[in-house]
Amino acid sequence: MSHIMFAELGGKIVTTLAGAKKHETVLILGDTASNENMLEAVFTAAIHAECEASLLVFKERPHNNFEPPEYIAAAMKGADVIIDFATKYFIHTKAVNDARLSGARYLMTIPTGIEDYIRTGVIGIDYQEMVRQGKAIAELYESSEMCRITSDDGSDIQMKMGGRPAINRDGMALVPGEIDYFPGAQVSFAPIEETLNGVLVINGSISPPVDKVTQPVTVKFENGKVTDFKGGAEATQWKEWLLSLEDPNMFSIAHVSIGLNPNARLRGFIMEDERVKGCITFGIGSQMPDFKGNTGLAKTHCDAVSLMATVELDGRKIVEKGNIII
């Protein structure tokens, strides 16, 4: 797919999703595995918007949440806007945290394998309707006391909300220090960790280390921590990977989310999978401070996606078998 194919997307990312203004410092980041045409299109759009734009590409890192090179970290702290296309995300690093504390707006995606979805998920939908729906769900999260998630294939899990903030990841970063992921959208919250108990059946994807699952994986949560895995080779693979990190916090709940993008499909790429409209994602491991939770940092982060679940807030259904009904 050529640079020209990404031209409209580049303009939308720079001016609408990042809200970049004339003379703002815009830093576009990529690694050696990033899509060059996409990087070039966004850089060109930033130049056309009369921003002070820079494009920096660094060597692909061996895994997620690896600190970027020092010169990259320094450039990040000096930017008004950061648009990150690195194929190994590093959002849970000191470099990103320092940049945000310095006021940078941070917008990221992982384009590998989902280049077409990144286009259709931004310029091929009613973006404002998606944002509206996300805000409505966030308001219900924040005003509810209990959440229950069930499914026909065996999920049944409950948790207390506790008045913590609901984060509407609408794919836009417009406020200094804000971080978001595009294409949006996803609404997330951190439950009161020790109140989360029950069974979750994961029939979508687990990233890392599995990506799209070939058979359901069932996990048991007790007091906010994963305590049991069932489901064959992929359940074993996941458990062994978590154990290999030698970090007990990797088994702790970080967030619960609902996907909202009507053009997202389950394909084994987490940036798309967890935004499938009506899907449920449980994140475990490292928890961003935005959630105001108690899990805190861990070695890394893992997301598990389930489709066709039902979500109730204080007995009111907001998702029924994967269909959002508000």
If you average pLDDT over residues 5-19, what whole number do you get?
A: 92
Find the domain containing 79 and state its range: 4-112
247 three-state secondary structure:
coil
Cβ–Cβ contacts within 10 Å for residue 92, how many? Answer: 19
Average per-residue pLDDT in the chain?
95
Domain end (from 112, 142, 173)? 112
The whole-angstrom distance between residue 212's C-alpha and the CA centroid of its chain comes to 16
In this structure, the answer to whether residues 78 and 133 fall within a common structural domain is: no
In this structure, the answer to whether residues 71 and 163 fall within a common structural domain is: no
Q: pLDDT class for 27, splitting at 50, 70, 90?
A: very high
If you average pLDDT over residues 96-117, what whole number do you get?
A: 94
Q: pLDDT class for 4, splitting at 50, 70, 90?
A: low
Task: Summarize pLDDT for 202-238 with one digit per residue, the tens.
Answer: 999 999 999 999 999 999 999 999 999 999 999 999 9
Q: What percent of the chain has pLDDT over 70?
A: 98
Given a cut of 50, is residue 113 above it in pLDDT? yes
Task: Summarize pLDDT for 92-102 with one digit per residue, the tens.
Answer: 899 999 999 99
For residue 193, give the amino acid letter.
Answer: E
Residue 1's pLDDT is what?
46
Domain end (from 71, 86, 112)? 112
| 118 lies in some domain | no
| 197 lies in some domain | yes
If you average pLDDT over residues 21-28, what whole number do you get?
A: 97
Phi-psi category of residue 103: left, alpha or beta, with phi > 0 → left and psi -120 to 50 → alpha: left
CA distances from 58 to 30, 32, 253 (A): 7, 6, 32
In this structure, the answer to whether residues 181 and 73 fall within a common structural domain is: no
Q: pLDDT class for 89, splitting at 50, 70, 90?
A: confident
Domain end (from 112, 139, 166)? 112
In this structure, the answer to whether residues 184 and 279 fall within a common structural domain is: yes
In this structure, the answer to whether residues 191 and 105 fall within a common structural domain is: no
In this structure, the answer to whether residues 88 and 166 fall within a common structural domain is: no
| 119 lies in some domain | no
| 120 lies in some domain | no
* Structure-block tokens of residue 217: 């994986």
pTM score: 0.86
Higher-confidence residue: 136 or 66?
136
In this structure, the answer to whether residues 71 and 140 fall within a common structural domain is: no
Residue 7's pLDDT is what?
87
In this structure, the answer to whether residues 106 and 159 fall within a common structural domain is: no
Q: What is the DSSP string of 207-219?
A: ETTTEE-SS-EEE
What is the count of structural domains for the chain? 2
Task: Summarize pLDDT for 138-147 with one digit per residue, the tens.
Answer: 999 999 999 9
| 199 lies in some domain | yes
| 289 lies in some domain | yes
Q: pLDDT class for 65, splitting at 50, 70, 90?
A: confident
In this structure, the answer to whether residues 79 and 195 fall within a common structural domain is: no
In this structure, the answer to whether residues 53 and 190 fall within a common structural domain is: no
Residue 312's pLDDT is what?
98
Residue 142's pLDDT is what?
96
- 92 in Cβ contact with 67 (< 8 Å): no
Instruction: Specify the CATH number for the domain of residue 31.
Output: 3.40.640.10
- 167 in Cβ contact with 188 (< 8 Å): yes
Residues present in the chain in total: 326
In this structure, the answer to whether residues 217 and 138 fall within a common structural domain is: yes
| 217 lies in some domain | yes
By DSSP bridging, strand 186-189 and strand 253-259 are antiparallel
If you average pLDDT over residues 74-82, what whole number do you get?
A: 97
In this structure, the answer to whether residues 166 and 308 fall within a common structural domain is: yes
Given a cut of 90, is residue 2 above it in pLDDT? no
For residue 292, give the amino acid letter.
Answer: K
| 122 lies in some domain | no
Higher-confidence residue: 111 or 240?
240
Given a cut of 90, is residue 3 above it in pLDDT? no
